[in-house]
Structure 1
Amino acid sequence: MKILISAIEPSANLHLKEVLNKLKMNNGKWEIEGIFDKNLGEPIIDSNEFNVMGFFDVLPKIKLAKNTIEKLTEMSKDADKILLIDAPSFNLRLARSIKKHCPNKEIIYYILPKVWAWKKGRIKDVNKYIDKKAYIFPFEKEYWKDGIYVGNPLLDEIKEFRDSEEKGNVAFLPGSRKSEIKSLMPIFRELAKKINKRKILVVHPVYKDRIEEIYGDVRDFEIEFHTKEVLLKSDFAYICSGTATLEAAIIGIPFVLMYKAREIEYLIAKMLVKLNYVGLANIIFERENLGEFHKEYLQKFDINLLLNDYKKATLSEFREKSKKLREILKYGSSENIVKLLNGEI
């Protein structure tokens, strides 16, 4: 079986890795092609070339995206299955192009657009171009009534809880995109100077040879590259908005979410996104009427408040919330994605 894959985001490639591991366990004959992290195979283009964020950062990538869609559409003619992962701005355009040229090709969309946050108009496009819809949050059934809840990929990747032993570390996770990193690092440096524990900065592996260029002055931090391992051995974490906040919530480590964008981007997003929270754990808990999972700080940061959250956080409280979150999400998703690819569901 030849699978054409489109996974252009760092988190999508982490989830794809679990799917590929399950495919190997099934001992089936399969091969992958398309766009994904070069560590997972031989893509036509390394997904890290699409590592951008923000309305204005995307502009230089438009030509690259257009050329890639044309190439993937041509490749789809020889593929048995198409697997799209997240990234709706790119993948919905790709799906439309593939269906135009190969209307009978089955397209599976894993991690569907977050239409519950914004751009509900994408529901129409997904229903038109996607054959099998695989969503990863139980509440999304409201939007994808003919879709399949496959489970959540983080439950495949995270088996451990943060234990009750104090570790003596505080984690700082500034995100994976350059704009996120450059916005949060000055705040992280200020916090680090006021915290008397070991400070661990999680650097995205793609930047391991460019740390000073991307992160600036990191002399107050120890550098590590693996989010889960760092969270499991830390007592508290300051985390940029994104998948890492849900990882921390599932692990059960006390943390706060921090996010800062260009002011014009933030204002545009605020007009478009109608949510009370940014963090995924908070969104899930609110849907279940369970209150707030963790604190969120957007755009403006008060160092004293951030330090107070660290000093007052209790591991037992977050561990109990984590148990409840895992009950809601139920199980991991990679096994069900393999079943979708094999036509078993």
Structure 2
Amino acid sequence: MKPIKIFVSALEYSANLHLARLIEAFEEKKIPFSLCGIFDTKVLKNYTSTYNPTIFRVMGFSGILKLLPKFFAVKKNLAKLASTCDIALFMDSSSFNIPLIKNIRKICQNHSNTPPYIVYYILPQVWAWKAYRAKVLSTICDTLWGILPFECGFYPKNTPICYVGHPLLDAIPYSLNAYQDSRKIAFMPGSRKAEIQALFPIFQSLAKILKENGKIPILIAPKSFENKNLNAIYGDFSDFEMVFDTYSGLKDCSFAFVCSGTATLESTLLGIPTILAYKTRMLDYYIAKSLVKLNFIGLANIFLEFSLYKTPKNNPNPKIPPIHPEFLQNLVTPQNLLKAYENYDYTRFFEGKTKLVEYLQQGSAKTCAQNLENLIKNLQK
């Protein structure tokens, strides 16, 4: 069998983790293939990428300006490379991937070549904002793999889209279903500088109070921070025990205070009672609020609300999160977080967590690997 050439575009670290599990499942099929494109070789250690996504990780407007010539050159080269492949797999990062897909199709059209079969996995959140992207993807992609049961309904009729499961269900090594009596409490203030600067001082004040009451505060930092100057990032973190792995760090904790993002979904699926805290610049907050038409910002709350009511507009109690509390902006204070912790509704959390796992059904890696195998068989007919 002729080896299949698969082009991959995966910029985000989380996308690369999901890609690694997909490739691991696909390797079991014993189908000869090669990978090229842009992905993280620290995650996919057995493969060589054409470009590493770290080249685009910059801070500030001036940094972006300096990188623009390189950015366009890389994008041009990636489009040429993808046009020579059998399959092109795109993950997340729609602002990068959508123009890239258009360029690939344009190159193939100009040279009268057959374009690669284009697959989009980890779709943009069209259900939250920029809904027009659904129509764009439905016209430029050959198939779409959704990781949320409800998102398929946001695409035009006859769009080749299917639900493949949620990748976090492949990743979580355990799932607790009852409160565990542990003195350890996790704090996850995020990975971005602005997030940490906004949240960590509040988490630090709360940790001091909890520590005085016999609790053990655990600061869970991203693995990428392991060899960095932590004092420069956090300042004084002497009240915390430091851990650099989310899953092992949460395992022995009875509770978690978490910044918004994927981390709140992870802690919920793991069965760790969670409170979400989100704080950003007021201008950024109001801009986001005007663009995003959702009742909640925590992914677990958003997903369960969709499962219960089909759309946020149908929710009769839009101010009551279905799984865990959320504190935003000026409401993020040590006193408010402490009060919510002391009055936490554990029954609501564990019932909601069970419903969420049932709703998401399964992991996605094996389904995606099977889809790839079926696709290759059809291409080789």
TM-score, length-normalised on structure 1?
0.91
Structure 1: give runs of 5+ residues left out of the alignment.
Answer: none
Separation in 1, partners of 2:103, 2:259 = 34
**Is the 1:53–1:177 contact (alpha carbons within 8 Å) kept by the matching residues of 2?**
no
Deviations, residues 82-128 of structure 1 (Å, cap 9, x unaligned): 11111111111211111211352111111111111100111221112
Match of 1:35 in 2: 38
**Is the 1:55–1:265 contact (alpha carbons within 8 Å) kept by the matching residues of 2?**
no
**Is the 1:85–1:109 contact (alpha carbons within 8 Å) kept by the matching residues of 2?**
yes
CA distance 1:53–1:227, change in 2 (3 Å): farther
Are residue 201 (structure 1) and residue 204 (structure 2) matched?
no
Deviations, residues 217-252 of structure 1 (Å, cap 9, x unaligned): 222221111112222221111111111111112112
Deviations, residues 5-49 of structure 1 (Å, cap 9, x unaligned): 111112212211211211222222222222222311433333344
**Is the 2:231–2:237 contact (alpha carbons within 8 Å) kept by the matching residues of 1?**
yes
Decide which structure has the larger Cα Rg and report it: 2
Instruction: Report sequence identity in percent.
Output: 40
Aligned counterpart in structure 2 of residue 263 of structure 1, from 249, 258, 282: 282
Q: CA deviation at 1:57?
A: 8.5
**Is the 1:253–1:315 contact (alpha carbons within 8 Å) kept by the matching residues of 2?**
no
Paired letter, 1:324: K
Separation in 2, partners of 1:224, 1:29 = 39
RMSD in angstroms over aligned alpha carbons? 2.4
Q: Comparing 279-288 with 61-70, which one deviates more in the overlay?
A: 61-70
CA distance 1:78–1:92, change in 2 (3 Å): same
Match of 2:88 in 1: 82
Match of 1:69 in 2: 75
Paired letter, 1:3: I
Q: Comparing 191-200 with 108-117, which one deviates more in the overlay?
A: 191-200
Match of 1:293 in 2: 323
Deviations, residues 299-344 of structure 1 (Å, cap 9, x unaligned): 2212111012222335554233211111101111111211232234
Q: Comparing 42-51 with 293-302, which one deviates more in the overlay?
A: 42-51
Separation in 1, partners of 2:350, 2:20 = 27
Separation in 2, partners of 1:200, 1:68 = 41
CA distance 1:333–1:75, change in 2 (3 Å): same
Separation in 1, partners of 2:59, 2:137 = 23
**Is the 2:225–2:244 contact (alpha carbons within 8 Å) kept by the matching residues of 1?**
no
Structure 2: give runs of 5+ residues left out of the alignment.
Answer: 110-114, 310-320
Q: How many residues align?
A: 345
Aligned residue for 2:6, secondary structure, equals: strand
Q: CA deviation at 1:139?
A: 0.9
Q: Comparing 312-321 with 300-309, which one deviates more in the overlay?
A: 312-321
Match of 2:200 in 1: 185
CA distance 1:134–1:186, change in 2 (3 Å): same
Match of 1:26 in 2: 29
CA distance 1:212–1:34, change in 2 (3 Å): farther
Aligned counterpart in structure 1 of residue 163 of structure 2, from 145, 149, 153: 149
Separation in 1, partners of 2:357, 2:137 = 28
